[in-house]
A and B are shown apart, each in its own frame.
Chain A
């Protein structure tokens, strides 16, 4: 931080009403500085080119620059303020070589807060949706049979496994290009668990080429358990789950080559994909394999739709394992999701109605209700 001295006589007007206060709802370490624009920072008097924010920890001490913002700005968040230490601030208007600072304000210190009230709506929605999912899981576990609609993609997977069993061709399972920390990969592994149980029972070879070592370890365990549960432990082949490369196109080259040589009956793509998704699906299309994909990557969905026979979009991918397993608890979780969808549809409908009424009717009530509803779903980007 460079120390700055105020220039001498200046006709430039300083910023007005500088205020400093602790940043709320954080872990300490941030102070908000606000001010009113200099009278020379207007459309008519556009002299000011920017503002410099200065800070000192001693009254009457040397001020140091902590940040610069452009003209027209009236707020700065100092994220370098150590918690518990008192600081004084001033804001300096700049106009070329000329500078003019406000009087110092303070002292102020930053402290932590136990609760981040900015996220009250996320907590509310999380409790509501999470509560619904847990409640439906519980209902499912108690033996209630939920009815779920059929997904063509899931049925195609079952048929593909049957066809592979008859033709003796293998099946390829690609668990995406993200690591185990990505929930899509976890969802993909859940699908692999169900697919491998079926392939183990039907004596179909299942190949699962891997992008990441951790996913490989989990996939390997999945296959081993599937063969063990099917009573075919001796048929388990550790070479069926193998690491290829964590370089995107190295992976494409390796897996694409294998697909061409081994001519799988079907290719299943479940997880997070980028460009390699289309490249592999096009290779699969060329060799005539039945292809089913599932991803929550919105940018890749159109490519997979064009290259695959069936695509499970977004939530369907997360639901695929529940469909395949038919486990009451997993199906219960699907019903919890349906409750969330109902809530979303209802909120969108009510929101549209309130927004329309707020526009058409001259009443503050509708504006208040509309803004209230918006605040529940607004996530914001602040700290």
Chain B
């Protein structure tokens, strides 16, 4: 473990020093490029894992093995069609995503609609999550419900009308002003508190990694 720890320490130290020494700044970009190159090679590991796991699921007939057939077939068909550019107007020398190519067809008429469908499901997830969150169970949930109601109402035209009758000396209590206050004062304060905590956590975690106290990137272990 000594060599990976040494590499981690050296690279991290150089990157930190580069923050304050301008001639070292290009090195940061170089390291980022190195990471991207390694990550690109690691894609092979992912593909091997996907095929291996699903193949074993099918072979052992584990629960839901039928889905593994669909997954493997989809992966292999897309890979072969894209890699060999089957049916592409420009042939093997042309672009795999050229208009009219089977690969582009798979992307436009299979992948994109499925992806959009799953994305659309988020609307229902948000609704069910909001329903649970806004159920009045305790004081905190009540505050959240009232605040959310005010924010939603205050962002609409109706919200402006609701408090428009208030006299000028009560202007801060007009709903749009109240909403702005909620956004700028309590919400920003909470958000900044989280930001400060995250920054401190980032510093402490980084130092633990640099000093070799915590090394999850090597599979942990002491």
Which of A's residues lie within 8 Å of B, judged by CB?
25-28, 112-116, 119, 122-123, 126, 129-130, 133-134, 137, 179-181, 183, 186-187, 189-190, 192-193, 210, 212-214, 216-218, 220-222, 224-226, 229, 239, 242-244, 246-247, 249-250, 252-254, 257-258, 261-262, 275, 278-279, 281-282, 285, 296, 298, 301, 303, 305-307, 313-319, 321, 327, 329-330, 333-334, 336-337, 340-341, 344
Contacts and interface: CB of A to CB of B under 8 A. Distances in A.
Given A114-B23, A129-B203, A282-B128, A190 B220 contact: yes
B38 interface: yes
A275 B119 CA distance: 8
A366 to B, nearest CB: 23
B167 interface: no
Interface in B5-53: 16, 19-23, 25-26, 35, 38-39, 42-47, 49-50, 52-53
Interface of B: 16, 19-23, 25-26, 35, 38-39, 42-47, 49-50, 52-53, 56-57, 63-64, 67, 71, 114-115, 118-119, 121-122, 125-126, 128-130, 132-133, 191, 194-198, 200-209, 211, 213-214, 216-221
B46 A225 contact: no
Given A218-B218, A258-B64, A337-B201, 11 more contacts: A27-B23, A212-B46, A218-B219, A242-B50, A279-B118, A279-B121, A282-B129, A285-B132, A333-B207, A333-B208, A340-B200
5 A-B pairs closest in CB distance: A221-B219, A318-B201, A315-B197, A189-B216, A193-B220
Contacts, number: 216
Contacts of A252: 118
Contacts of A112: 22-23
Contacts of A275: 119, 122
Contact of A301 (B38, B194, B207): B194
B53 A242 contact: yes
A279 B205 contact: no
Given A249-B115, A306-B130, A334 B21 contact: no
Contacts of B203: 126, 129-130, 133, 337, 340
Contacts of B191: 298
A123 B38 CA distance: 31
A148 to B, nearest CB: 13
Contacts of A258: 64
Contacts of B47: 243
B211 to A, nearest CB: 7
